[in-house]
Amino acid sequence: RFTPKPLGYLRIDLDEKKDSVFTLDQCPFTFSAPNYFDLEYNNKNKCWINLKYYKHRATIHLTYKQINGNLVNLLEESRNMVYKHTVKADAINEKRYLNDINNTYGTLYDIHGQTASSVQFYITDSVYHFIRGALYFEVNPNQDSLKPIINYLRTDIINIMETVIWEEDNFLTIENTGT
């Protein structure tokens, strides 16, 4: 006798979170993130990095840019990158972030629906530094099966935003040497 198998999803095992401080060569910031991320530098720009979570084929792309009187353009560019997903998004929620102690301000975007990226953000000091980040998976977007991993990594993204510390000494060295 034939009995059909019920539909189901694979069991997802998530790693224990043990934070590490990520200090980046030649970049004017540090942050904390779980140690299950592998750091990968972009060949063209050392301060464009990928935090790879190979186990779940996820990447948090981080792009650092120096502000040169262009903060409004950087904010608009970041917002445009988020709202390109409106074609497939069911909703986009914005949450403001403010930390006067670390001099960091930003926005976290939760993008709901069958989109390529479900969480994006930017963090800045509004004068010198700007970081934009986006979570992507190397799989077809299926919100039902990815939701536990998205929620898990979303907490890591919030942790990154909350722990960014601007390294003014590194920034001044980079600026003065022209590298």
Distance, CA of 82 to CA of 119 (rounded, Å)? 9
DSSP annotation of 39 reads E
Beta bridge partners of 136: 59, 117
Contact present, 56 and 71 (Cβ < 8 Å): no
Rounded to a whole number of angstroms, the distance between the first and last alpha carbons of the chain is: 71
Distance, CA of 122 to CA of 107 (rounded, Å)? 6
Which single residue is written with the structure tokens 């792009």?
63
| Residue 9 pLDDT greater than 70, yes or no | no
Please give the biggest Cα pair distance in the chain: 77
Quote the pLDDT of residue 159.
96
- Output the six-digit token pair for 133: 């980040």
Distance, CA of 66 to CA of 129 (rounded, Å)? 5
Element (H or E) spanning 22, and its range?
strand 19-23
3-state secondary structure 71-91: HHHHHHHHHHHHHHHHHCEEE
Mean pLDDT of 86-99: 93
Which single residue is written with the structure tokens 């709901």?
112
**Confidence class for position 44, pLDDT limits 50, 70, 90:** confident
Distance, CA of 76 to CA of 19 (rounded, Å)? 32
pTM, 2 dp: 0.85
Tens digit of each residue's pLDDT (9 = 90 or more) over 108-127: 999 998 888 999 999 999 99
Q: Which of 13-17, 109-113, 150-154 has the lowest mean pLDDT?
A: 13-17
